[in-house]
A and B are shown apart, each in its own frame.
Chain A
Amino acid sequence: MTDVRMGTDSRSKADVTEKDLGGPFNTRKHLANAALEAEKRRFADLLIVDMDAHHYEHDSWKEIFEYVEDPVMRQRLHAAAGRSGRTVLFPLPIGDQDVAGRLSRLPERLDEVVDGNQRHRDVEVVRRYMESMGIDYSILFPTPMLSLGMHPQAEVEVALARAYARWLAERVLSVEPSIKTMLYLPFNDPAASHRMVEEFSDVPGVIGFMVTSVHHRQVHHNDYMRLYAALEERDMPLGFHAVYTWHGDRSMEQLNRFLSVHALAFPFYNMVHLTNWVINGIPERFPGLKAIWIESGIAWLPFLMERLDHQYMMRSSEAPLLTRRPSEYIREMYYTTQPLERGNLNFLKLAFDMLNAETQLMYSSDYPHWDFDLPSAIYDLPFLDERAKRGILGENARRVFRLDEGGG
């Protein structure tokens, strides 16, 4: 900072310093206000679990490709990446998440300097955001791989899912116990997904598995029953992480703004899968399997609960496995908070009540993505009591994932 006090003209003796806005991007600097907020609210006294944070795994493609088991596929991926490391075999999705450059961390993040110790760069960057926000555990997910469910070659999805799993376990999870993951499953190949559950469930830091929501597979298909049985047997939760696609889906192709696609696609794909999940009686067939619906906010759930109940009452013969109304199954599943719609607190409170949020909802930041939420998005809600806040911010996740309290 620069001291700009000018002695004789100053009418105050207080220091005035100018903040240095230059220099390379730094997560701690970017989130300095979050750190102040965390201190003010004494987040250090709370267990806070971030159920959905991200890193940019494509920065590490060259490392990850080394973990591809098939030598022919490995050579293809390396060759397609070329010097830039951005593979043409797996293009990034359309959409400027940085709002045309307005959100500085996205274009500038690659300039961040990390310490020259032995930990992977992603570990350092993740720890910086966690420490800034007062988070004890972070459940880490990839970013561009969330679009891998639309890849036309299932073998590419399988190869990358397995390579990513091995790379993440070795380079990230094994060195930082406060970072966990629900491991990406190559859902287009049910047998390969099942094999991954068998191989990776006991890997330290793997606390569940994740399916990216944009794909064209039916989650109730008989092909997946072995997978769900394997998850239930191991008490490993299955997360459906929402995402968007702007092409390959005729409804989304009608939308002309990223705002519109993002607003609709995230809840839409989770609506499709959750509807199939409930109407086809997966909760009845796998009562011990915990499903978590990630990154769709919660405003869509009251609508879906009401809509499915209304139709079910007239057409229960089409859902013969159900013994209760769809909404009753929905309020027994789990949901993450972000992006929390706070435009109408009366509606939000109603949604919390309908979901049984005190035990079923789990805080998520989605940091560093463009619409992240701080823990204060939950902590500051006026209608939550202390018990509900603690549950949503961390205790529900601790219970579902059997996390040790305290982090690190």
Chain B
Amino acid sequence: MKASSDYSPGTSRPAGEYPVGQASDFSERQARVFVINGIEIGVYRRGSRFYAYRNTCPHQGGPVCEGMVLGKVEPNVEGDRTITGERFSEDLLHIVCPWHGYEYDLTTGRCVTDSRMRLRTHDVVQRGEELYVRA
């Protein structure tokens, strides 16, 4: 399966598919980081889909894929527009860079506070149980 539809042309080295393990070896909310041809790439699982990003934060270059994965913090805004607390989103997961806390949407790689900033994306291909990262 092609998990990431926005393959970045910036990863312009000759296309190759590199095996990273079996789908069942990947757990939710925890990336595994692989070094492929000298480039660090984090692979994430979200349900049955997989996503792969370059382990470099566009902000200042931090190891973004080594950070936490957390639900987006959302306020509980009531009908009368008062705020009665906060919750973690079950739908929107964020990758958090451990250097400075920049947050990125796990499924798009876009920075949640500046959509011009985006993690370098790599395609993930699944054949049977095996996963491959294109790099």
Binding site for B on A (CB under 8 A): 1, 4-6, 9-12, 14-19, 21, 30, 32-34, 36-37, 99, 101-105, 370-374, 376-377
Contacts and interface: CB of A to CB of B under 8 A. Distances in A.
Contacts of A102: 67-68, 70, 96, 98, 101
Chain B contact residues (Cβ within 8 angstroms of A): what range?
20 to 34
A17 B36 CA distance: 7
Contacts of A103: 98-101
Given A102-B67, A104-B98, A105-B98, A14 B61 contact: no
24 contacts: A10-B19, A11-B17, A14-B36, A15-B37, A16-B18, A16-B19, A16-B36, A18-B34, A18-B35, A19-B33, A19-B34, A19-B35, A21-B32, A21-B33, A30-B63, A32-B63, A33-B55, A33-B56, A103-B101, A104-B66, A104-B68, A104-B98, A372-B100, A376-B61
B16 interface: yes
B62 interface: yes
A260 to B, nearest CB: 15
A16 B35 contact: yes
A5 B19 contact: yes
B21 interface: yes
Nearest to A19: B33
Contact of B20 (A14, A16, A372, A374): A16
B7 interface: no
A370 B130 CA distance: 39
B101 A373 contact: no
Nearest to B66: A21
Which 5 A-B residue pairings sit nearest by Cβ, starting from the closest? A19-B33, A12-B16, A104-B98, A99-B101, A102-B96
Contacts of A377: 60
Interface in B12-44: 16-21, 32-37, 40
Given A19-B40, A33-B61, A12 B70 contact: no
B101 A11 contact: no
Contacts of B34: 4, 16-19
A295 to B, nearest CB: 16
Given A102-B98, A371-B100, A14 B37 contact: yes
Contacts of A373: 60
A34 B61 contact: yes
A266 B16 CA distance: 49
B68 A101 contact: yes
A11 B16 contact: yes
A121 to B, nearest CB: 22
Contacts of B35: 1, 15-19
Given A104-B68, A374-B61, 7 more contacts: A6-B130, A11-B17, A11-B132, A16-B35, A18-B35, A33-B62, A102-B96
Contacts of B68: 101-102, 104
A202 to B, nearest CB: 38
Interface in B56-83: 56, 60-63, 66-68, 70
Interface string B46-60: 000000000110001
A374 B68 CA distance: 22
Contacts of A21: 32-33, 66
Contact of B18 (A14, A36, A37, A105): A14
Contact of A104 (B18, B19, B67): B67
A18 B32 contact: yes
A370 B101 contact: yes
A36 B101 CA distance: 20
A17 B21 CA distance: 11
